[in-house]
Amino acid sequence: MTRCPMTPGSSHTTHDSADRVAFDRVALERVAFERAVNDAGHPPQPDATTTLWQRFSVPYAFPVSFTRDLFAADNEMLLATLERHEPAGRPGQHGRQRLLMFIDAGVVAGMPTLLGRIAAWCAQRADRLEPVAAPLVVQAGEAIKNDWAALDPMHRAIHEHAIDRHSWVVAIGGGALLDAAGLVAATAHRGVRHVRVPTTVLSQNDSGVGVKNGINHYGQKNWLGTFAPPDAVINDSAFLTCLPERDRRAGMAEAVKVALIRDAGFFAWLEEHVTALAAFDAEAVAVSIRRCAVLHMHQIGTAGDPFERGSARPLDFGHWAAHRLETLSGHALRHGEAVAIGVALDTRCSVLQGLLPPGEDARVVRLLQALGFTLWHHALDRRDAAGGHLLCSGLEDFRIHLGGELTITLLERIGRGVEVHELPDSTVLAAIDWLRGCTA
Ligand SMILES: NC(=O)c1ccc[n+]([C@@H]2O[C@H](COP(=O)([O-])OP(=O)(O)OC[C@H]3O[C@@H](n4cnc5c(N)ncnc54)[C@H](O)[C@@H]3O)[C@@H](O)[C@H]2O)c1
Ligand SMILES: [Zn+2]
């Protein structure tokens, strides 16, 4: 395979000097053209066959802020975030920050005063802020990701209110709304400025601080989407007060996931505080969200592959099964609920493959169950007309999604993930049987 020398993981051997020459050819050729025209009066004859390498890098940096009650009269975080974005504190080219908000209808239902408070908050800052329209309230949840047409009102609002590349889209909602709005913001004008305000545990501790967006298509999770980091993320703990219990719990599966692959100390902390977490104690939930968000940020920012060009997906521990289960259950399972099952399955697979000491699987199941997760869904048993096991065929979908070699994260101990390239169906089926036994 020929590799672009900028690709992470490219070799740093004798190829380096050859790569440098290849890159320099653009500069050499540019100068040679000018010289030849000056000296000889005509350009040089181009080589019939050659390769010029284009090269540039774009640094990404965005703030992930934490606050309480973003639209309280004295809370300046959102405006400060928009204004900080301008080079050297210059006001935007419009003078005031123009913005359009998309808000999850679930949040509006849970917080009936929200729209009024947003209007008052914006009015107080009318000299520096220009909301181009009233917030667009969007029916969200997974349904918004299952219908390409559901994106149209957001695209249309950006168009009709002339949101340009110096204006802002502010999306307030759960992971599904943020995934959909992120795709809208990334594709309108090839990308408009975008602030995410996650309102669920899962979106505050995982999806909202990430760099991906997307919707489901052709019956597959996140088939259509882009890697497009937001310009800022603001986690407001007040939004969690109106979140239904089911969704408060669902997000905790991602905390267990990231603890298992990266942080044994955090896993032990989760075990120690499981009673408080299961009772949604605000302080314990806040600690777990912060730690989980930081671990995700660390992985994305430092592991060398933020846009997932390689095959490893360490943050997707338990997710090959989770994504398949979400689809097989007709999205009756929340993402986090499916992740809890996927994590339990892949932990058992780790034991069955001889990677993780026996007994650690039961420990993980105990924690998930104590948090309140149901670790069984009848979709785990579904087969197609030919008798093929539908969850197992999710492995093949995952391989196709990765392209090339199957790469799955399993555990070699609690707090340490390991990449494997094989997971026999027989192991998956045995893990399902084991989970059935745990939940009977
Ligand atoms: N882009 C990524 O990197 C990434 C990572 C993980 C998960 N995800 C995606 O995130 C989605 C799941 O997100 P989620 O768990 O936040 O669920 P969700 O967005 O589906 O929200 C669940 C429900 O809660 C409602 N809601 C949201 N905030 C509320 C609030 N504060 N008060 C009351 N109701 C509220 C929503 O309207 C919805 O009905 C999945 O589609 C998953 O694939 C994306
Ligand atoms: Zn997830």
**pLDDT of the residue at 24:** 78
Nearest CA to ligand 1 atom 43: 335
Class of the domain covering 64-243: alpha beta
Name which of 151, 162, 179 is nearest 100 in CA terms.
162
CA 332 to ligand 2 centroid distance, Å: 16
Q: Which residues pair with 136 in a beta bridge?
A: 102
Report which ligand 1 atom has the smallest distance to the Cα of 203: 16
Question: Rounded to 5 degrees, what are φ and ψ at 76?
Answer: -100, 5
Please tell me whether residue 403 adopts helix, strand or coil conformation: coil
**pLDDT of the residue at 310:** 84
**pLDDT of the residue at 9:** 39
pLDDT 10s digits, 239-270: 999 999 999 999 999 999 999 999 999 999 99
Burial class (CB in 10 A: 0-12, 13-18, 19+), 179: buried
**pLDDT of the residue at 423:** 95
In 306-413, beta strands by DSSP E? 408-413
Report which ligand 1 atom has the smallest distance to the Cα of 140: 37
Nearest CA to ligand 1 atom 6: 207
Residue 209 in this model has a pLDDT that exceeds 60: yes
- Token pair 């994106």 in the structure block, residue: 151
CA 209 to ligand 2 centroid distance, Å: 12
The count of other CB atoms within 10 Å of the CB of residue 73 is 9
Q: Where are the domains of the chain?
A: 1-57, 64-243, 246-439
Nearest CA to ligand 1 atom 19: 174
**pLDDT of the residue at 3:** 40
In the chain, % of residues over pLDDT 70: 93
How confident is the model over 273-287, as a mean pLDDT?
97
DSSP 46: P
CA 247 to ligand 1 centroid distance, Å: 8
Residue among 104, 213, 258, 307 whose CB has most ligand 1 atoms within 8 A, to mutate: 104
Q: Which of the ligands is closest to the CA of residue 204?
A: 1
How confident is the model over 193-212, as a mean pLDDT?
97
pLDDT, the chain, mean: 92
Length of the chain: 440
Residue among 258, 335, 343 whose CB has most ligand 1 atoms within 8 A, to mutate: 335
pLDDT 10s digits, 93-130: 568 999 999 999 999 999 999 999 999 999 999 999 99
Residue 142 in this model has a pLDDT that exceeds 50: yes
**pLDDT of the residue at 22:** 65
**pLDDT of the residue at 12:** 43
Name which of 132, 94, 66 is nearest 285 in CA terms.
66
Pocket of ligand 1 (CB under 6 A): 104, 106-107, 110, 140-142, 145, 173-177, 179, 199-200, 202-203, 206-207, 210, 212-213, 221, 239, 242-243, 247, 250-251, 334-336
Name which of 361, 355, 328 is nearest 343 in CA terms.
361
Q: Where residue 2 falls among pLDDT bands split at 50, 70, 90?
A: very low
Please tell me whether residue 237 adopts helix, strand or coil conformation: helix
Q: Which two tokens stand for residue 350?
A: 């780790």
Residue 4 in this model has a pLDDT that exceeds 50: no
**Is there a contact between 208 and 175 (Cβ–Cβ < 8 Å)?**
yes
Burial class (CB in 10 A: 0-12, 13-18, 19+), 272: exposed
Cβ-proximal residues to 29 (8 Å cutoff; 6+ apart), any chain: 52
- Token pair 């007994």 in the structure block, residue: 359
Give the integer Cα–Cα distance in Å for 355 and 18: 41
Report which ligand 1 atom has the smallest distance to the Cα of 142: 20
**pLDDT of the residue at 92:** 56
Domain 246-439 is found in CATH 1.20.1090.10: yes
Kindly provide the b/e burial profile for residues 133-153, where b requires at least 16 CB atoms within 10 angstroms of the residue's own CB. eebbbbebbbebbbeeebbee
CA 173 to ligand 1 centroid distance, Å: 7
Q: Where residue 17 falls among pLDDT bands split at 50, 70, 90?
A: low
- What are the start-end ranges of the H helices in 213-281? 245-262, 264-272, 274-278
Q: Where residue 85 falls among pLDDT bands split at 50, 70, 90?
A: confident
Report which ligand 1 atom has the smallest distance to the Cα of 323: 43
Please give the single-letter amino acid code of residue 252: M
Q: How far is CA 142 from CA 52, 152, 250, in A?
A: 44, 16, 14
Name which of 413, 73, 75, 55 is nearest 264 in CA terms.
413
Residue 91 in this model has a pLDDT that exceeds 60: no
Give the integer Cα–Cα distance in Å for 94 and 130: 9
Q: Which of the ligands is closest to the CA of residue 246?
A: 1
Q: Which two tokens stand for residue 95?
A: 């003078």
**Is there a contact between 224 and 214 (Cβ–Cβ < 8 Å)?**
yes
Report which ligand 1 atom has the smallest distance to the Cα of 111: 32
pLDDT 10s digits, 337-396: 999 999 999 999 999 999 999 999 999 999 999 999 999 999 999 999 999 999 998 888
CA 206 to ligand 2 centroid distance, Å: 7
Cβ-proximal residues to 160 (8 Å cutoff; 6+ apart), any chain: none
Relative orientation angle of helices 425-439 and 335-352, to the nearest 10 degrees? 110
CA 104 to ligand 1 centroid distance, Å: 9
Give the integer Cα–Cα distance in Å for 87 and 89: 5
**pLDDT of the residue at 7:** 40
CA 340 to ligand 2 centroid distance, Å: 10
Q: Which residues pair with 80 in a beta bridge?
A: none
Q: pTM above the 0.85 mark?
A: yes
Q: Could you tell me the sign of the dihedral formed by the alpha carbons of 72, 77, 82, 86, in that order?
A: positive
